[in-house]
Structure 1
Amino acid sequence: MTTVPLSDENGYDRRSLHERIAADLRDEIMSGDLAPGASLPSTVRLKERFGASNATVQKALLLLKNERLVVGRAGASVTVREHRQSTVRPASSLAPAATGDPYPWLGEIAKRGGHARSTLLAVTEVTPPADVAAALRLPAEGSAILRNQVLTLDGDPVELVHSYYPPHIARGTPLAEQRRIKGGTPTLLTELGHGPRLSVDHVSARIPTQEQYEALRLPGDLPVLRTLRVVYDADEHPVEVTVMAKAGHLYELRYEFTPE
C-alpha cells in the first residue's frame, strides 16, 4: 500500500522559513496593512512572531528589499516604500491620443509626477506563438509583424511588451518600421481605418521566462502578471494582439464594470 506523506496531505508549505516570512510580510504590504512609509515590526518582534533566528529574519527582509517593497539597513528600522504598488487600468490604453499628445499611458504617469518611457527594442516579421496566432486568426504557419518594447518608470523596467499585427494591416505602415509611433498604436490604427472598439484581456500569473526575468530585472522567482490582450475593430476583426508581462508583486489590475 502506498503511503501519502502527511506534508502532501496537509498542504504543508515547503518553502524555507525566510521565504514564508517574506511572503506574509509581502501580503501585508500589498494589502495596505503595512502602509507606505510605515516601519516594519522590529527584528525582535518578527523573531517572536515567526519563531525564527535573527539571521532568518534578515534574509526575509533582504528579499523584500530586493523586490523594492521596503528600504532600510541593518541596525535601523525598515520602512515600506512609498510606491509600494501601482494600479493599471487596462481600458484606458485603448483610447487614441489627441493630435500632438503622448501615448495615454505615458501621460497618466506624468500626471502622477512620475517619469515613464517606452523603448522600442525591435520590429520584425515573425511566426508568433500559438495563442497569438489563434487570436489573430492567422493561417497555419502564418506570420505577423512584431513590435517589441520595454516600458520604464522612474528608470526601472516595469513591463515587457510584445505587440503583434496582421501583415495585411501592418506592412507598408509605421507599424512595420523601426521607430516609435507618435500617439501610440491606437491612434495609428484609427488613422488606418481599424480603430479599436473592443479589447479582451486574458490574465494569468506565470513563472517568468528568461527574457522576462532579464528585461524586468526581477529579484527572484516571483511570478509575473501575463496579459494577452486581443483588440478588435468595429467589424470584430482582430487588429492587434499584445503579450504584456509585469512584475506581479508591484502591480495590480483594476477593472470597472457597470451592471446591465
Structure 2
Amino acid sequence: MPDTRPLHERIAADLRDEIMSGDLPPGGNVPSTLRLKNRFHVSNATVQKALQVLKAEGLVVGRPGSGVTVREHRQRTMHPASYLAPAAPGQPYRWITEAERRGVRARSRLLDVAEVRPPADVAAALNLAGDGTALLRSQILLFDDEPVELVKSYYPLDIADGTPMTQHRRIRGGTPTLLAELGYPPRHSVDQVSARVPTQEQYTALAMPSDLPVLRTFRVVYTDGERPIEASVMAKAGHLYELQYDIPL
C-alpha cells in the first residue's frame, strides 16, 4: 500500500528516523536543502516544510550561517529498571537522581491526588470490584523544565488510607520508598508498552507538537505474595524518548 501522507510529512518521517537512530547525530548538520531536494526529488518549498515540522517537534534548530542542526540532548533513552527500587534513606526519588546522574535537571509537579474509580485495566490489575475505587496520584515529570512524562499512579485504598500518599504533596524518596516503609516493599513489576495516539490530556500536558504517538507504559508493581500495590499509566512523547530494558538471560 503506498504512503499517502503529504510529501513533506514523509520526508520529515525519514529524517526523524535518522535523527533517532543517530545517523544524524546531536549537534550535527542536517543535509543542505539542495541535497535533500535531490535526494527526495522535491521542490525547495517541500524541503522547507519538512524541516519546519522537525523544528516544531524540537528535533532540529536553524542557526544563521550554520544551516539546520540537530538539537543536543533531545533524544533520550530511559532506563525504567534503574529507578523502580526505593530510594536510599534521605535521598530523593530515584528517577530524579538517575536523571541528574546523566546530566539532566529533573523535577516533578504533582497535579492531582484523589479517590477515583480507575480505568478498567487498572481495576483489573489491582483486583478491584466493578465499582471499586483507588487512590490516584497524578504528576508530570520534567527534564530541564520541559515536560517528559505524564504519570497516573493508582493505589489500593487499604494501603493508602491514613498515609502521606493521600496528601497533596510530594513524597520524599517517592512512593516506592514509602510503600517499603509501610511494609509493602516493591519486589517486581510488569510493564506493557504500546504506541498510541495521545489523548487530549496527554497532548496538552506533554506539549505535543502534533498527533505524533506517545509511548504508553502500563506498569503493575507487586510486593510479597504477588500482591499488586500500584498500577501506573505513563505516557511520554514517542518522537523524543525510547525505553531500554536490560534483561538477563
Matching residue of 2:116: 126
Deviations 1:138-172 (A, max 9, x none): 01110000000001111111100000000110111
User: What displacement does 1:87 show?
Assistant: 1.0
Matching residue of 1:7: none
Consecutive unaligned residues of structure 2, counting only runs of 5 or more, are: none
Residues matched between the structures, number: 249
- The aligned runs of 1:44-193 (5 Å cut-off) are 44-73=34-63, 76-193=66-183
User: What displacement does 1:179 show?
Assistant: 0.8
Cα distance between partner residues in 2 of 1:140 and 1:74: 60
Q: Percent identity?
A: 67
Cα distance between partner residues in 1 of 2:221 and 2:194: 18
Deviations 1:10-68 (A, max 9, x none): x1111000000000000001001111111011001111111111111111101111111
* One-letter identity of the residue aligned with 2:11: I
Cα distance between partner residues in 2 of 1:19 and 1:134: 39
Matching residue of 1:199: 189
The answer to whether the 8 A contact 2:215-2:235 is kept is yes
Consecutive unaligned residues of structure 1, counting only runs of 5 or more, are: 1-10
TM-score where L is the length of structure 1: 0.94
Asked which structure has the greater CA Rg, the reply is: 1
User: What displacement does 1:113 show?
Assistant: 2.1
User: What displacement does 1:112 show?
Assistant: 2.1
User: What displacement does 1:89 show?
Assistant: 1.1
Cα distance between partner residues in 1 of 2:193 and 2:101: 27
TM-score where L is the length of structure 2: 0.98
The answer to whether the 8 A contact 1:147-1:163 is kept is yes
Equivalent of 2:230 in 223, 240, 250: 240
* One-letter identity of the residue aligned with 1:43: T
The answer to whether the 8 A contact 2:83-2:98 is kept is no
Question: Do structure 1's residue 221 and structure 2's residue 211 form an aligned pair?
Answer: yes
Cα distance between partner residues in 2 of 1:172 and 1:67: 43
* One-letter identity of the residue aligned with 2:144: D
RMSD across aligned positions (CA) = 1.1
Stretches (4+) displaced over 3 A: 73-76
